[in-house]
Amino acid sequence: MRQTILACCIFILVSACSSEPVTSPNLETDLDRRVWHFLNSNGGDWDLENVPATDGRLLYDLIVENGYTNALDIGTSTGHSSTWMAWALSKTGGKLVTVEYDAIRHRKALDNFEKAGLLHIIDARLADAHELVPALEGPFDFVFCDADKDWYINYLNAVIPKLQEGGCFAAHNVRSWLIAPEGFLEYVDSLGMFETTVEGSPSGVSVSYKRSALRP
C-alpha cells in the first residue's frame, strides 16, 4: 500500500512539472477564441489521465500541419487531448472518434466538448477500447493512444490496416519511467513500416508516420 501511494505521489509531481505553459495557435475565429478560453479557464480541472498542455499542443500541430481529417483518440478520459485534436480538425474539416470505458469520465468529456464548442466535430463513444478499436472501419490518418499501457501493441496492430499511408500513430507516456509501455517502441521499430520520433513533454509522445512502402 505504501508503495502504491508513493508511486501515485511521484506521478502527481512528474505530471505537474511537465505541464508547461503553451502559446496559443492563431485565434482567427470565434471558435478559436472560445476553445482557447475554455482550455485556459479549465487548466486546473483536468485529472491525471489527461495529457499536459504541451502534448495537447503537439497533437494540434501534427493534425494541422499534415492536414489530417480522420482521427481516432484511444482513451478520452475527460477530454483534454480530444479537445486539442478536435480544435485542429475544425481547421482541416475533419472529424474525431474518441473512446472511453468509464461512464463518469465519458459524461464529463461530453460536457467539456459542449463547453468548448466542439461537440459537433466529435463522435464520443462509451465503450471498451479492446473491443471497439478492432471493430472500427476507418480509415484513419491520425491515431492517438493514451489508454492502458500494456495494450498499446494490440491497439497499434488493430489500427495498422486502417491507417492510411502517410498517416500517424502517436502514443503517450512512452518515456515515462513509471508507466511507459514496455517494449512498445522496440516493437514499432521492428515492423519496418514507421518512421518514429519521440517528442513533447518529458513523459514522451512517440510520433510514428506510416511509410508508403516497407524499408528494405
Average pLDDT, integer, range 73-78: 95
Q: Rounded to whole angstroms, how far apart are CA atoms 57 and 119?
A: 19
5-14, 39-48, 82-91: range with highest mean pLDDT: 82-91
What pLDDT is attached to residue 1? 39
Q: Rounded to whole angstroms, how far apart are CA atoms 185 and 93?
A: 31
Residues in the chain, total:
216
- Global pTM reads 0.87
What is the CA angle 168-67-191, rounded to 5?
15
Q: Rounded to whole angstroms, how far apart are CA atoms 161 and 25?
A: 32
The neighbouring-strand residues paired with 124 are 98
| 62-71: pLDDT as tens digits | 999 999 999 9
The neighbouring-strand residues paired with 73 are 98, 144
Using the CB atoms, write b or e for 171-202: b if 16+ within 10 Å.
Answer: bbbbebeeebbeebbeebeebebbebeeebbe
Instruction: List all residues 6 or more positions away from 95 whose beta carbon is below 8 Å from its beta carbon.
Output: 69, 70, 71, 89, 121, 122, 123
29 HSE (CA, 13 A, CB side):
8
**Cell 483534454 appears where?**
80
Indicate if the pLDDT at residue 3 is higher than 60. Answer: no
Indicate if the pLDDT at residue 4 is higher than 80. Answer: no
Helices 80-92 and 30-41: crossing angle, nearest 10°? 170
| 32-53: pLDDT as tens digits | 999 999 998 875 566 656 788 9
Q: Rounded to whole angstroms, how far apart are CA atoms 64 and 87?
A: 9
Domain residue spans in the chain?
52-210
Q: Quick one: cell of 144?
A: 492517438
**Cell 475533419 appears where?**
94
Q: Rounded to whole angstroms, how far apart are CA atoms 149 and 171?
A: 9
DSSP string, 32-61: HHHHHHHHHHTTT---TTSPPHHHHHHHHH
What pLDDT is attached to residue 176? 80
52-210 to CATH, choices 3.30.1330.120, 3.40.50.150, 3.40.1190.20, 3.30.230.10? 3.40.50.150
